Amino acid sequence: MARGQDVNKELSDVLNELWRLDVNRMKPGVDYKINLQGKAGFVSGGRNNARDSARVPLFSYVNEDKLKSIDTYAYFINLLDNYEMATGVAEQVTEDEIQENHLFLDAILKTKVMKCAHKYLVRKGRAQSDPAQFKSQLYDIWFKLYRRAKSGGEDSCGFEHVFIGETKHGTEIMGLHNWVQFYKQEKKKHVDYKGYNARDNKDTPDEDDHLLNLQFSSNGLVKPLSSCFIGVSPEFEMALFTIVFFLSDKQMTTVKVKVDEYLLEIVVCRFGHSIGTSYPKMISNNDQDR
C-alpha cells in the first residue's frame, strides 16, 4: 500500500477505541523514560557496521515493579525465555510453557481491549463468538509452531517472531517488535540501540511518542530498519495485529490508520494460517499528515 493511499477510517475508529481502553499503557516520563539521541545512519549488509548514533541505551528507566503488578505484563514476561531464537533449530515446548501460553491468553482476554477486539471481529464474521473458541483461534495464529527455515523441525511461531525476535542463518535479525522485550534484552546488553529512523528532520520523534522507528544491533548483527510501539500493553498489540490478520486473507496486508496523534501503517504477513510477522510503521506524528 502506497503512502498516498487513504486512511482506513473504519479500522482507525476501532483502533482508537482500543487505544482509549488501554488502561495498562505505561505513561512516558513516569512509568518509563527513553533517550532517543541521534538519527541512525545508513547500513549496508547485516553485519554490525552501523555508525552508533546512541551512546547510551534507549531505555533509561522502566518501572519493573509496575509491570510485574499487572497480570498481562507479568504473564507476557514469563513467555520471553520460552524460545530458541535461531531459526532452523526445532522448538522444544514443555507442558509448563504451554500452560504459560494459556495463562497469558486468559489474562488478555479479560481486558476491555481484547473484549472490544473480539466483539468487532465477531461482528465482521471473522471470529467465533464463543470466548473459548476465540481463544483457540488466538492460540493457533500466535502460538502454533511452524517451520520457518527450509530445514529442521518446527522452529517458529507468530508470537516468537513478533514479540521476542529470531535470527536467520546467523546473518539476519528478524522480528523483535516489542518494547518490553527490547528493554529486557538491552538491560542484559544483548541489544544495542543505534538511533532512531526518520525520513527528515520534521519526522524527528520525541520522548513522549508511543511509536518509534529505530535501528539496533544484536550479537554482531544489525537490524537497519525496525519499529515498535513504546509503552503500550501486550493486549493492545495482540488485539491490533489480530484484527488486521483476521480482516484480510492476503499473504501481506499493509493498512494505513490514524491512531491517537499517529499516522501509521500496520503490516501483517501470513505464514500459512498463522502470523508470520506483524509490526507498526510510523509515518508521522503530532497530526502532521505528510
Is 210 annotated as catalytic? no
**What is the residue type of 106?**
D
Of the residues 118, 135, 177, 258, which is catalytic? Answer: 177
Contact 255, 1 (CB under 8 A): yes
- To the query of whether residue 223 is one of the catalytic residues in this protein, the response is yes
- Cell triple for residue 118? 473480539
- Give residues with Cβ within 8 angstroms of 173, minimum separation 6: 46, 165, 166, 167, 217, 218, 221, 222, 223
Going by C-beta distance under 8 Å and a sequence separation of 6 or more, which residues neighbour residue 5? 256
Which residue is associated with the grid cell 493498512?
A: 255
d(CA 16, CA 210): 14
Beta bridge partners of 34: 59
Separation between Cα atoms, residue 248 and residue 126, nearest integer Å: 9
C-alpha torsion sign, points 115, 211, 255, 238: negative
Q: Cα angle at 102 between 98 and 104, to 5 degrees?
A: 115
| C-beta of residue 174 within 8 angstroms of C-beta of residue 277 | yes
Q: Looking at 39, 161, 210, 258, which residue is catalytic?
A: 161
Task: Could you list the beta-strand ranges (E) of the chain.
Answer: 32-34, 59-62, 166-168, 172-174, 192-196, 211-218, 221-229, 252-259, 262-271, 274-284
Catalytic residue (choose from 39, 184, 223, 258): 223
Q: Among all residues, which ones are annotated catalytic? A: 161, 177, 223
